[in-house]
């Protein structure tokens, strides 16, 4: 077998010169968006509940700052923080400046920070107090007078238990109204953070509660995985290249792996993880959403509901897991040392690792196994989709097949880190004899397009302000995801049986045994020095 060769193709974004020459004539285009002409959102007031929390400092404020630098925010845009702590708008700006400087992908300099801090305002008070919403309404009226036209986005960056009182008070004070969103009326949208319930029953209760205050067109259930460029590229790769879509079915694909591995542990979040576990934290939302993008049928268009219709349809085609399948095709693991973490029970059965096999009962995917795995404390940080194609007939390659030289082609979509796409295939080794070797052709976004990749929250916040719900979860998909995962949660929580694994390892051996029963194997997780 020859050594693997890395082929780095030079990719040229199409019609760069023409695109650059025409960009200035496109009204409302966001700076730097060469391929698509997405409109700049209307002037909007963005209200963040829980604004002094970690999410605002690490994700939301840096995202809005970078969108501003990229020319994505219309003027005026007003950002109002709401939290229990009492402070002025200037103090709020001082509070978020340090985390923005730490987490922003672009430099924070005095001139641009002054522009951004000029958008910030703040209201302090209890979420259940009328005074808080009286003050907020006054600030929104000021923003409307500046030119936001009454457009508003409410971001609920709070625990779900706070949602009912916040929505009730917003409705009571006339800040939200339940209505279908239309272009001719001021927009009113609400972003809801995960976890969206902890099981099917609580998810449905939460949906019912939110739906009593808001129309479905106003509800934006956020999953930051869907905002990642590499996740969005799954659709472009499939439907924008005629060489892939004809092969994207049971006739050519042997099996599919979807992996979300983290090298870090729970990082002091023991109490949270004891209530959540890896299935609720990663698989129920992130990985099932990636699965739906990989397996959905061709949508009628890229309109939000056309895409979400197809995602919902493929999730409905996933075969429900039986008791026997949970026992044989689902593996739970826990890294050694988890039980010594603060806030963790000494006899905890909560999984920090999970792997499972799912089948899709559809014409396209019948008989193709999909292996999902996610875990903490593993050998490396890696999120990817690996499409394993079927082996060629071995008439010509009997010797190579016997020596494991002739390996099937694998298309890998790397979501993070080192975002890109790779294709493993066989080629002839130079020389007189017909010898074959496996080679790897790779494309990385950083090298191919010579431009930084935006953070997921940048895209998602922009899309919400535009009223584009493509990358947000719809109610039916959320319910279906819980329906699929519910048997696993119920059986695992009722019976002990976690498999232990060492930190820095690929995970429990039971997961390798599970996938091997189908004649398959995981992509190896490698510990880096």
What's the pLDDT at 37?
A: 44
The answer to whether residue 15 sits within a structural domain is no
Phi, psi of 140 (to 5 degrees): -70, -35
3-class secondary structure, 301: coil
**What's the confidence (pLDDT) of residue 399?**
58
Q: Which residue has the tokens 């300099």?
A: 109
The answer as to whether 191 is a domain residue is yes
Q: Which residues of 449-470 are buried (b: 16+ CB within 10 A; e: fewer)?
A: beeeebbbbbbbbbbbbbbbbb
Q: Are residues 266 and 216 in the same domain?
A: no
Residues 123 and 214 in one domain: yes
Residue 499 is assigned to a structural domain of this protein: yes
Which of 170, 189, 221 is a domain's end point?
A: 221
Residues 81 and 173 in one domain: yes
Is residue 471 a part of any domain in this protein?
yes
Predicted pLDDT at 272:
87
Same-domain pairing of 278 and 213: no
- The answer to whether 503 and 335 have CB atoms below 8 angstroms apart is yes
Measured between alpha carbons, how far is 118 from 382 in angstroms, rounded to an integer? 39
Amino acid 434: pLDDT? 64
Is residue 313 domain-shared with residue 191, that is, in the same domain?
A: no
Which two three-digit tokens encode residue 199? 């099981």
For residue 149, the 8-state DSSP code is T
Q: Report H helices in 173-265.
A: 200-213, 229-239
pLDDT value, residue 527 = 75
User: End of a domain among 196, 221, 246?
Assistant: 221
SS3 481: helix
Print pLDDT tens along the chain (529 aa).
344 444 444 343 433 333 333 333 333 333 333 333 457 789 999 999 999 998 999 999 999 999 999 888 999 999 999 999 999 999 999 999 999 999 998 999 999 999 999 999 999 999 999 999 999 999 999 999 999 999 999 999 998 889 999 999 999 999 999 998 888 889 999 999 877 888 999 999 999 999 999 999 999 999 888 888 888 888 888 888 889 889 999 999 999 999 999 999 988 888 889 989 999 999 998 999 999 999 999 998 888 889 999 999 999 999 999 999 999 999 999 999 999 999 999 999 999 999 999 999 999 999 999 999 999 999 999 999 999 999 877 655 555 554 555 678 999 999 888 888 999 887 777 766 666 777 888 888 877 777 777 888 999 999 999 999 998 999 999 999 999 999 999 999 999 999 999 999 999 999 999 999 999 999 999 876 6
Is the dihedral angle over the CA atoms 70, 74, 75, 79 positive or is it negative?
Answer: negative
Q: What are phi and psi of 325, to 5 degrees?
A: -70, -35
For residues 239 and 166, membership in a common domain is answered with no
User: What are 105's two structure tokens?
Assistant: 């992908």
> Which residues face 211 on adjacent strands?
none
Active site residue 286: yes
Residue 19 lies in a domain: no
Residue 457 lies in a domain: no
- Residue 240 and residue 107 share a domain: no
Please tell me whether residues 160 and 242 are part of one structural domain: no
Annotated catalytic residue: which of 215, 286, 499, 528?
286
Q: What is the pLDDT of residue 397?
A: 56
Split into its structural domains, the chain has a count of: 2
Phi, psi torsion values for 356, nearest 5 degrees = -155, 155
82 with 136: CB under 8 angstroms? yes
Residue 275 falls within a domain, yes or no? Answer: yes
Residues 192 and 247 occupy one common structural domain = no
Give CA–CA dist 373/443, Å, rounded.
Answer: 24
Domain range enclosing 70: 40-221
CATH classification of the domain holding 91: 3.40.50.720
Question: Where residue 341 sits, what CATH number does that domain have?
Answer: 3.30.360.10
Question: Whats the size of the chain, residue-wise?
Answer: 529
Please name every residue paired with 239 in a beta bridge, in sequence order, or none if there are none: none
Same domain, 127 and 194: yes
Q: Any alpha helices (H) in 5-159, and if so which ranges?
A: 16-23, 54-55, 61-69, 89-103, 110-117, 130-143
Residue 143, φ and ψ in degrees, nearest 5: -65, -40
39 Cβ contact list (under 8 Å, min separation 6): 28, 29, 466
255 and 373 together in one domain? yes
Contact residues for 334 (Cβ-Cβ < 8 A; gap 6+): 348, 349, 350, 351, 352, 353, 498, 499, 500, 501
Name the one residue in this structure whose structure tokens are 């493509």.
470
Last residue of a domain, one of 201, 221, 241: 221
Tell whether 192 and 270 lie within a shared domain: no
Closest C-alpha to 14, from 36, 30, 31: 36
Q: 346 lies in a domain?
A: yes
């Amino acid at each position: 077998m020859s050594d693997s060769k890395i082929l780095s193709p030079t990719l040229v974004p199409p019609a760069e010169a023409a695109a650059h020459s025409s960009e200035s004539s496109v009204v409302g285009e966001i700076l730097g968006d060469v391929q698509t002409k997405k409109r700049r959102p209307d002037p909007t007031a963005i209200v963040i509940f829980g604004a002094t929390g970690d999410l605002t400092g690490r994700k939301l404020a840096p995202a809005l700052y970078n969108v501003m630098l990229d020319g994505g925010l219309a003027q005026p845009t007003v950002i109002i923080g709401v939290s229990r702590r009492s402070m002025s708008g200037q103090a709020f700006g001082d509070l978020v400046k340090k985390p923005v400087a730490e987490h922003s992908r672009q430099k924070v300099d005095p001139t641009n920070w002054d522009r951004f801090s000029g958008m910030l305002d703040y209201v302090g008070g209890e979420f259940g107090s009328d005074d808080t919403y009286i003050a907020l309404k006054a600030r929104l009226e000021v923003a409307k007078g500046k030119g936001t036209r009454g457009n508003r986005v409410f971001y609920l960056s709070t625990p779900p238990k706070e949602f009912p009182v916040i929505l009730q008070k917003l409705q009571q004070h006339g800040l939200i109204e339940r209505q279908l969103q239309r272009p001719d009326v001021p927009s009113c949208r609400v972003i809801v953070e995960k976890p969206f319930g902890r099981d099917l029953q609580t998810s449905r209760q939460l949906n019912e509660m939110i739906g009593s205050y808001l129309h479905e067109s106003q509800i934006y259930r956020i999953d930051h995985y869907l905002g990642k460029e590499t996740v969005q590229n799954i659709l472009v790769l499939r439907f924008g290249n005629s060489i892939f879509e004809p092969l994207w079915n049971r006739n050519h694909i042997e099996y599919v792996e979807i992996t979300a591995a983290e090298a870090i542990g729970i990082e002091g979040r023991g109490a949270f993880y004891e209530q959540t576990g890896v299935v609720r934290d990663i698989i129920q939302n992130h990985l099932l959403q990636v699965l739906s993008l990989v397996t959905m049928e061709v949508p009628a268009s890229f309109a939000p509901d056309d895409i979400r219709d197809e995602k919902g349809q493929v999730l409905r085609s996933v075969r429900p897991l039986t008791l026997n399948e949970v026992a044989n095709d689902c593996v739970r693991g826990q890294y050694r040392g988890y039980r010594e973490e603060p806030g963790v029970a000494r006899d905890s059965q909560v999984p920090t690792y999970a792997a499972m096999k799912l089948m899709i009962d559809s014409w396209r995917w019948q008989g193709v196994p999909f292996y999902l795995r996610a875990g903490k404390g593993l050998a490396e940080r890696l999120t990817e989709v690996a499409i394993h194609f079927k082996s060629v007939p071995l008439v010509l390659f009997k010797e190579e097949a016997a020596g494991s030289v002739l390996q099937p082609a694998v298309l890998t979509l790397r979501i993070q880190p080192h975002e890109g796409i790779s294709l493993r295939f066989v080629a002839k080794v130079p020389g007189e004899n017909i010898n074959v070797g496996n080679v790897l052709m790779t494309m990385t976004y950083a090298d191919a397009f010579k431009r930084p990749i935006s953070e997921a929250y940048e895209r998602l916040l922009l899309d919400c302000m535009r009223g584009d719900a493509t990358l947000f979860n719809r109610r039916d998909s959320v319910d279906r995801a819980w329906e699929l995962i519910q048997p696993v949660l119920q059986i695992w929580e009722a019976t002990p049986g976690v498999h232990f694994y060492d930190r820095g390892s690929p995970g429990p051996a039971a997961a390798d045994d599970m996938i091997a029963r189908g004649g398959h194997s995981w992509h190896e997780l490698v510990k880096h020095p």
